[in-house]
Amino acid sequence: MTATDHALQLTQAAAVAAADKLGTDIIAFDVSEQLAITDVFLVITASNERQVGSVVDGVEEALRGLDAKPVRREGDREQRWVLLDYLDLVVHVQHDDERRLFALERLWHDCPRIPLLLDDRR
């Protein structure tokens, strides 16, 4: 099983929105083979708490335009690691300290990476 077209559409829109808000190290993993709860993990780095909030707001706005609202949002009080759960897509926006500490890409490195069309935004 692979990520659905809907999940891939949300992933691409979220990645572009994150890049537009200066999110960096944007990586998407197809986790559909390993997890029954979602198809894609999108991981984004932000350099400070304010930027974490800005990236989260940008992602939510972009996906709202596709009629998608998160069913769960966690971590927005501290703005260090915010998780947005769209069922087919889970977005992780992490402060760079949390990104280095938790290294989600190390945990999911066996999963296929999803190519993101971000041009020179990275």
* SS3 state at 30: strand
CATH classification for the domain delimited by 5-107, as one of 3.40.1830.10, 3.30.460.10, 3.90.1150.10, 3.30.70.240 = 3.30.460.10
pLDDT tens digits, 29-80: 999 999 999 999 999 999 999 999 999 999 999 999 999 999 999 998 889 9
What are the φ and ψ backbone dihedral angles of 96, each rounded to 5 degrees? -60, -30
CB 19 within 8 A of CB 42: no
Q: Where are the domains of the chain?
A: 5-107
CB 16 within 8 A of CB 63: no
What pTM does this model have?
Answer: 0.94
pLDDT tens digits, 80-93: 999 999 999 999 99
Beta strand segments in 37-106, E = 40-46, 72-74, 81-85, 89-95
CB 108 within 8 A of CB 30: no
Pairing of strands 89-95, 40-46: parallel
pLDDT score for 77: 87
